[in-house]
Amino acid sequence: MKKKPARKIEIDAEPYPFDFTPGACALLIIDMQRDFLEPGGFGEMLGNDVSQLRQCIAPNKKLLAKWRAKGLPVIHTREGHRPDLADLPQAKRVRGHGKRGIGDPGPMGRILIRGEAGHDIIPELYPQPGEPVIDKPGKGAFWATDLHAILQNRGIRQLIVTGVTTEVCVNTSVREANDRGYDCLVPADCVGSYFPEFQEMGLKMIKAQGGIFGWVSNSAKVLAALV
């Protein structure tokens, strides 16, 4: 018997429409962790305006609900380290010369340490059973993780990438995914940066030069494709 061709739906995106194949596409939610997003967390302690990031919670929540309702795969990531700091490079530990850094006591437990309250995902987007959570020691979701194997085992070739921050972990993960052969679409309202200029440029870099790393769209357009 002939195999049924995969269903494709166009999502309006820049620099040109994205050929969405629901059976081969995962929602990858990057680092929506309490320490980055919540008032009183590590991000705010560093002097950042968390309201800039919090704008993307509601659109993510809506997209996640619909994505789950359609039975499509969801993967979450968290940036953080082992409690013994064995996986924390010295270069990352000393960078910034902040008063407090990774592994030190913070407002919500030890900063960016697995198992601590601040390291966990915000309640609004909390993972459900069956949704893999990737603990990553770096900015990119692929480096030193089993994400590529998980995606390959599930036949995933496309990613809708959301989360924080646009210019750091989202951008790094999209670039890593692109080099591994995945098509990535980033809904602009579902990613956030502490810095408006980095939000703008982080998105521009993805879609520049004919989609050098991927596509940029918005959650309404992705939701419209999830009929």
In this chain, which residue has its C-beta nearest to ligand TIU? 169
Give the burial string for 158-190 (b: 16+ CB within 10 Å, else e): bbbbbbbbbbbbbbbbbbbbbeeebbbbbbbbb
Alpha carbon distances (Å) from 20 to 43, 168, 226 = 34, 25, 10
In the complex with ligand TIU, which residue's Cβ is closer, 15 or 98? Answer: 98
Q: What is the dihedral of CA 93, 136, 65, 201, to 10 degrees?
A: 60
Task: Select the span of 52-60, 162-170, 176-184, 214-222 touching ligand TIU (CB under 6 A).
Answer: 162-170
Query: The tokens of 132 are what?
Result: 């893999």
In the complex with ligand TIU, which residue's Cβ is closer, 31 or 189? Answer: 31
Question: Smallest distance from the beta carbon of 163 to ligand TIU, in angstroms?
Answer: 7
* Angle ∠(187,14,36) on CA atoms, nearest 5: 25
Residue 179 known to be catalytic: no
* Angle ∠(196,197,201) on CA atoms, nearest 5: 120
Among 156, 160, 161, 169, binds ligand TIU (CB under 6 A): 169
Among 29, 31, 111, 184, binds ligand TIU (CB under 6 A): 31
Task: Select the span of 98-106, 142-150, 165-173, 182-190 touching ligand TIU (CB under 6 A).
Answer: 165-173
Among 60, 165, 199, 217, binds ligand TIU (CB under 6 A): 165
44 makes contact with ligand TIU (CB under 6 A)? no
Euclidean distance between CA atoms 170 and 162, whole angstroms? 7
- Active-site residues, by number, are 31, 136, 169
